[in-house]
Structures are given as C-alpha cells and as structure tokens.
Chain A
C-alpha cells in the first residue's frame, strides 16, 4: 500500500514540480529537503515555518503540493501522521536518487552556475 502511495507522490512531483530540477546538486538537495519538510508539516496539521524568505518560498511550493495531494489522492485524508512522515522520507530518498545520485546530468556538480 505504502509503495503505491509513494508511486503516486513521485509521479505527482515528476509532473508538476520544477524545484526538483534546479541546476546544481546543492540546490536540488536544499529544495527537496526544504519543500518536502513543509509538505509534511502541512499534511500532518503542523504550522509551516515562515520565519525567513527561504522558508516562505518552501511554504509556497509546499502549499501547492499539499493541496494537490489532498485533491488527487483520496488516501491522503485517511493516513496518519506516522505514515505521512514515512511517505515523505521515502519520497525524499527517491527524488535524491533520480535527480541527484543517479542523474547523468553532467552539470550537476559544477562549482559555478
């Protein structure tokens, strides 16, 4: 069950989210971690972080994703906080694998933009 839900989330991010494909490894890591932490907070009823400009940006991207996840996947309203956290962790790992670790993009680790 969790695997199919993870597939749903991954397919959604693939289709909609430009933040996963920023230019460099460190940008992608920062975005995946930052946006998905906010998505986790939103889906588990916690207050999102909005103290810094970067946190407000992650919140903006996360809000769109959290709303879409609730609308597209009926299971999103039925899972508990632990499973949300588990799914988000799984999604982070999969995105890191696809967009960073095993990406063949030759520019990812250039030290300059």
Chain B
C-alpha cells in the first residue's frame, strides 16, 4: 500500500508523503512518513511553536524556578497552566507566570533594560526563589536583545542567583521539537557539572523525559524509593534547577520521552559515559519490563520482582475489570509523537483496545519507525495532521475514543465521539500500574458516557428518541 492521499488533500498533494496506511509485508524501508519538516502551506496544522517546546514542555515544569518570558504577554499566558504538572512544594510553577510584557515602544527601542528590570522585580517579589530561566520569543529575538548579557549582569548584581537562558524564538523550528532540542543542548553545555549533590544510595539514576503530568513522577518515585534507587535528577517532572546541574553524577539515564529529552541522555552518554536505557512507563507489561531492566542493571532483580508482584496484586484485578469492558474498542491517538509508540501496544496488550489511527504533531522519522514497527496493519500513521484530515480519517476508521488535546478534543466532541486528554490527562496520573488503571477508567468513562448520546439528540426532531444507555459501575 503506498502512502495515502486523502480526498481532502487533493489540492495539496504533498501531504501524501506524510500519511501511511500499514499493509501486510511492508516495513519502514519502503514507507516512512516524512516528519519534522516544515508544515505545508495550505494545511491547518495544529503544531505549537519552538518556544513552547522549551518552556511549556520542559523548563516550565521545574518547581523552584522563575520562568521569565521576554516577549509579549500572550507568549507567557499561552504557555502557562495549559499543562498540569503539579509539584510537591505547593505547585509554585503553576501558580505564577512571568513576562516582560513587551509593547511596541520596547520593540522599537530595545527590550534589554526592561528585561533586566523585570528579572530584578521577580527576584525581589520572590525572595526565596534564586533560580530563573529566561526565554526569548519571536519579537525579542528579531530585535536582537542579548538575553545572555542581561542574565550575566543580573547574576553579577545578585551573586546568590543563577540564571539559564534559552534562545529559541517560536519561529526557529518547524514545531515544538526545536525547543526541546535547544533546551537540552543548552543545559548540558552550560549547567551540567556546575554543582555536586550528596549521593545517598549505591544505586543512582536520572529519570529523563517525564514531566509529572498529574503526578506521574511522584507515582514512579514511590517505586524508586522502594527499590532504594536515588534519582539524582528528574528531567524535569517535580524537578529542581540545581538537581539538573548534578546529572553527571548518575550511573544510569532512564529515558521515557525520547523525543523531548533524548538529546540530553545521548550527550550524557557521550560526555560522561552514563548509559542510556529507554523504557515505556505506560502500561502494566511495559512498566514491569522497565523496572526489570533497571533492576538488572543494578543487580537488584529480586527487589524488582517483589515490587512488580505487589503492584500486580493490587492493581491487575482493577485493570482486568476495565479490560473486559473495553475489549475490541477502537482508539485514535493524536498527540505529540512518543505517546503513539508508547501507547499503541500497551492499550492493545493490557486493555484489548485496537489503535486504528495515530497522528503526531512533532515526532521525527525515528518516532514513525518506532510506531510503525509496533503498530498494527490497517492503521493510519499521520505526520502533522490537519483538521480536515482528522474528519476524513474518523469517517474511515470510526474510532470509539480519541486521545488528543483539548483543542482537537472539542472538535471531535461535536461529532459525539468521546475524547480523553492525551497530553494533560483527564484524571491521572497515567504512568505506572495505578496510572494505567486511571487511564483505563477514563477511557471507559468516555466510551460509555451516556451524555454524548443524549447530546446528539435534537428534541426538535420528533422522530429522534432518547437512547437508553446501560453502564456498569466500577
């Protein structure tokens, strides 16, 4: 089966190179969607910008760091509070938002003085906070404001603070992915090995590419605590700025989100010889495998088996309850990139759910190699999908539930197809054993929600009857 040109794309035939329908006896040597390429004019992409990839995805997660957005207010507001990554110190990162609030006169006459003033104001207002990340945005990059020079000046004036700069304006890449890269490489170049922390365990690792969405990191941390493994740094879920400066001290880098954070794991391997272990943290089967691998690395296999047995005893019956009721349901995953390959087999193996279409906003070709290797035949694999394509794909595969973001989610809700927030979750965490039961529960509640059927009834049409929905209680 060649790449697919959808009916809605007939006027932008270049889109054919981005959509693949897997057929028997094919592999990625023949058909691999082009990815991480500029959005084709004429499509309505749902991508974010490069600045968003640095700030919203990675930097903004840190629990002890002021996120100074040097730009207009909207860049700050639109990358604040739209993802739910709590922290164990009262959610500092979600309570506050900082911006230099650039206006026309600052763009015309330069914004460095305004940035300097804003940085001092922020530190003055929050005297307990001594760490800051400063981001450029499109206008401040275009006018050439030197944020590194300003950061140096502020650090000279305030010797107790440390500032990291991210020069990654929204236009600098094709998607969020560029921002991930810039922050990863900038951090390893400038901040790793600038601090040492106390090592309290014989087993140490960094956990990379997990952003504590609704408590993912905190749930997994209970496993590492029970195994006696010290996490030197969480990149960046519930993490601290200074812990990330100590990443060179770990013995192992465990990577969940290879797309947003693989770069720093690769560099830590190259520069410090710390091996990189990629795992999947979603799903029973995969989580158990990840724990087994980590424990095998440290030679503590028995501890790992005990933990897995305890978790299975506690959570597997609950998972199976949902599996019985979700078996055979069809699911679409329209998220960033890695969740396509993390989820496609885990929902199939653990819940009996078939993934029929997947779309990635910012995945690279590597992500499509992974997902096509794991995904089923007859499934659509889409790079940088647009809304008309989503409508057409829905008609073709008729999913029972779609895991996607709130924007596309609102769109599919109007078609009376339930959606679950695949980015920020509905009621997470979703990682780990307990987390995957949460995911199953949210999927069950979405698929069997009587409201969506009722919402489809137009009472002005006398021929329509209200459906009667029978739904079991968990």
Contact = CB atoms under 8 A, between A and B. Distances in A.
A68 to B, nearest CB: 9
Contact of B258 (A15, A16, A18, A105): A18
Contact of B365 (A56, A63, A98, A107): A107
Interface residues of B, number: 36
Interface string B102-119: 000000000000000000
A97 interface: yes
B252 A113 contact: no
B297 interface: yes
A60 B28 contact: no
A64 B292 contact: yes
B365 A61 contact: no
A10 to B, nearest CB: 10
Interface string B263-280: 100110010011111111
Contacts of A107: 36, 364-366
Given A15-B345, A23-B262, A113-B267, A57 B374 contact: no
B365 A57 contact: no
A60 B279 CA distance: 11
B277 A53 contact: no
A113 B266 contact: yes
A60 B370 contact: no
B95 interface: no
Interface string A48-84: 0000011011011101100000000000000000000
Contacts of A24: 266
B113 to A, nearest CB: 35
Contact of B275 (A14, A53, A102, A106): A53
Contact of A15 (B292, B366, B373): B373
Contacts of A14: 373-374
Interface residues of A, number: 29
A60 B258 contact: no
A51 B381 CA distance: 41
B470 to A, nearest CB: 36
B369 A103 contact: yes
B29 A98 contact: yes
A19 B289 CA distance: 14
Nearest to A67: B292
A52 B262 CA distance: 22
B40 interface: no
Q: Which of B28, B36, B185, B262 has the most CB of A within 10 A?
A: B28
Q: Which of B276, B277, B366 has the most CB of A within 10 A?
A: B366
A18 B292 CA distance: 15
A7 to B, nearest CB: 11
Interface string A14-32: 1110110111100100000
A99 B274 contact: no
A112 to B, nearest CB: 8
Interface string A86-113: 0000000000011100111111000001
Nearest to B275: A57
A103 B267 CA distance: 23
Nearest to B251: A53
A63 B304 CA distance: 14
A59 B296 CA distance: 8
Nearest to A11: B373
Nearest to B279: A18
Given A18-B258, A56-B275, A57-B297, A104 B263 contact: no
B32 interface: yes
A111 to B, nearest CB: 12
B268 to A, nearest CB: 11
Q: Which of B270, B273, B276, B279 has the most CB of A within 10 A?
A: B276
Contacts of B27: 98
A38 to B, nearest CB: 11
B294 interface: yes
Contacts of B416: none
Contact of B28 (A18, A63, A104, A113): A104
B325 interface: no
A33 to B, nearest CB: 15
A99 B364 CA distance: 14
B227 to A, nearest CB: 14
Given A21-B369, A22-B266, A57-B252, 19 more contacts: A14-B373, A15-B374, A18-B279, A19-B278, A56-B297, A59-B296, A59-B297, A60-B294, A60-B296, A61-B277, A64-B289, A64-B293, A104-B29, A104-B32, A105-B32, A106-B365, A107-B36, A107-B366, A113-B262
29 contacts: A16-B289, A18-B258, A18-B280, A18-B370, A21-B366, A21-B369, A22-B276, A23-B262, A24-B266, A53-B251, A56-B275, A57-B275, A60-B277, A61-B277, A63-B292, A63-B296, A64-B296, A97-B29, A98-B29, A99-B369, A102-B29, A104-B28, A104-B32, A105-B364, A105-B366, A107-B36, A107-B364, A107-B365, A107-B366
Interface of A: 14-16, 18-19, 21-24, 27, 53-54, 56-57, 59-61, 63-64, 97-99, 102-107, 113
